[in-house]
Each structure stands twice: as C-alpha cells, then as structure tokens.
Amino acid sequence: MESFAKFWIEVFDNFYKTVIFEQRYELILNGLKNTLIMSIGAIILGSLLGIIISLIKHNYKINGKMKILNKICNTYISIIRGTPVLLQLMIIYYIIFKTSTINPIIIGILAFGINSGAYSAEIFRSGLESIDKGQLEAGLSLGFNYPKTMKYIILPQALKNSLPSICNEFITLIKETSVAGYIGIMELTKVSDIIASKTYNYFFPLIIIAVIYFLITNLLSKIFKKVERKLDINDNNKESI
C-alpha cells in the first residue's frame, strides 16, 4: 500500500515538474502552436504543389504538352524523394536562407511543403490516372476543352480517389515536423527535449508530447474518414459506368 502511494506521488510530482512548474504548459502550448502552424502551412503548400505538378504530368501524358515542365517536375520529385527531409530542411535553412533573417517557422513551412509536394504530386497523379479515359473523352466530346474537362470532370473524381493516401501523407508530414528543432524551431519535440533537460526526466515530457501527436493525427484521420463517408453516400467512383 505504501509503495502504491509512493508511486502515485512520484507520478504527480513528475507531472507537476513537467507541466505546471515554471508554467511549462506554456512552453508545450507554444510548441503545439508552432507544430500546427508549420503543419497546416506545409499541407497547404504541399497540396498546391502536388496538384499543379500532377496536372502538368497528366497533361504531358495525355496531350504530349509541357515537356520541359514535366522534366523539371520529374527531377524535383526524384531529388525530394531521394534525400532525407532533415537534410532538405538544413539545406534550406543553412545554405539557401543563410544570410536571411526570415522566421524559421516560414522556412519550416517551405521545407516541409516542398517535401510534401513531391509525395502529394505522385498521390494526385495516381488519382488522376485512376479515372477511366472515357471520362476525359466524354468531357471533350461535349465541347469542353482539356482544362475545363479536368476542372469539372476529372479532378473532382481524382481528388476523391486520392483522399485515403493524401490523409496518410498529411499524417506523415505532421510527424516529420518533429525534426524542425534542428533549426531552432520550438515545436513539440524540441519542447519535450527542453523540459526533459530541466527536469532530468525524459519519460514524462516524451509521453505527453507523444500523446499530443497521437491526438492530432487521430483527429485528422477521423476528419478524413468522415469526408470519405460523406462523399461515398453521394457517389461511388469504383462503379463501372
């Protein structure tokens, strides 16, 4: 009984030292804010890049147009996928923006957005390619030009098909922002490191931060599942028409 009480006293003590003492919860909240800003910014940038690149690649494949842009896109995808995200972040921070006084969070958004763009591009490309060629031809035969056919007919279907994979990509991206501490950004993981160095106890800070990551990614996953279900009620792209 005594050892049980001792255990809980120690837990509360550690929790107090990690979260309450010296208002460390403010540090954690600040880390959470930075992680969210970086993640959301990078998701938006990565998605935009991904959609644009996938459309360029699709246009080249279908119409043979934009040959040079297509080559540039392929090179970009190869380089980004072939190097670690931490290295890309450090190159952008220490080399490209070496003399700049730009906010490191913006650099984080750029680095993670550019990284995610390559993966998103491949996800959206496979979404576009999953749409039957007959859909494109039906759009063209009704008098739409290629861009309008893409806008009104192909993209809405392709984006829906891409949802599960793009959700995975967003989850990966959120977790990858945990390396942003390397360029001095006070994100969640960096905060846990700082608190641990003060309390000389890694267990509590790491577990608390892990729970926060889990809650964010789980919430995102649930939102995506809800959207997918809603779209499934309206239509079913897998149906052969």
Angle between helices 67-82 and 104-129 (to 10 degrees): 120
Question: What single DSSP character describes residue 182?
Answer: G
Query: Tokens 């890049």 label which residue?
Result: 49
Q: How far is the CB of 50 from other proteins (least distance, A)?
A: 20
Q: How far is the CB of 134 from other proteins (least distance, A)?
A: 4
Paired tokens of 129: 């390619």
Q: How far is the CB of 173 from other proteins (least distance, A)?
A: 27
CB-nearer residue toward other proteins: 2 or 239: 239
Which residues have CB under 8 Å from 139's CB, separation 6+? 148, 149, 152, 153, 154
Residues 132-161 touching other proteins, rule: CB under 8 A, are 132, 134-135, 137-138, 140-145, 148, 152-153, 156-157, 160
Q: How far is the CB of 18 from other proteins (least distance, A)?
A: 49
Question: Residue 38 CB: number of other CB atoms within 10 A?
Answer: 27
Asked if residues 28 and 191 have their Cβ atoms less than 8 Å apart, the reply is: yes
Q: How far is the CB of 241 from other proteins (least distance, A)?
A: 5
With contacts defined by CB under 8 A, name the span among 31-39, 41-49, 181-189, 228-236 that binds other proteins.
228-236
Residues 14-43 touching other proteins, rule: CB under 8 A, are none
Asked if residues 161 and 130 have their Cβ atoms less than 8 Å apart, the reply is: yes
Q: How far is the CB of 121 from other proteins (least distance, A)?
A: 22
Separation CA 50–CA 52 (nearest Å): 6
Residues 77-136 touching other proteins, rule: CB under 8 A, are 132, 134-135
Question: Residue 66 CB: number of other CB atoms within 10 A?
Answer: 16
Asked if residues 202 and 196 have their Cβ atoms less than 8 Å apart, the reply is: yes
Query: Tokens 């494949």 label which residue?
Result: 61
CB-nearer residue toward other proteins: 22 or 232: 232
CB-nearer residue toward other proteins: 28 or 154: 154
Q: How far is the CB of 124 from other proteins (least distance, A)?
A: 16
CB-nearer residue toward other proteins: 112 or 124: 124
Tell me the site size for other proteins, rule CB under 8 A.
Answer: 24
CB-nearer residue toward other proteins: 98 or 133: 133
Asked if residues 180 and 93 have their Cβ atoms less than 8 Å apart, the reply is: no
Torsion of CA 9, 13, 16, 22, to 10 degrees: 150
Interface residues with other proteins (CB under 8 A) are 132, 134-135, 137-138, 140-145, 148, 152-153, 156-157, 160, 234-237, 239-241
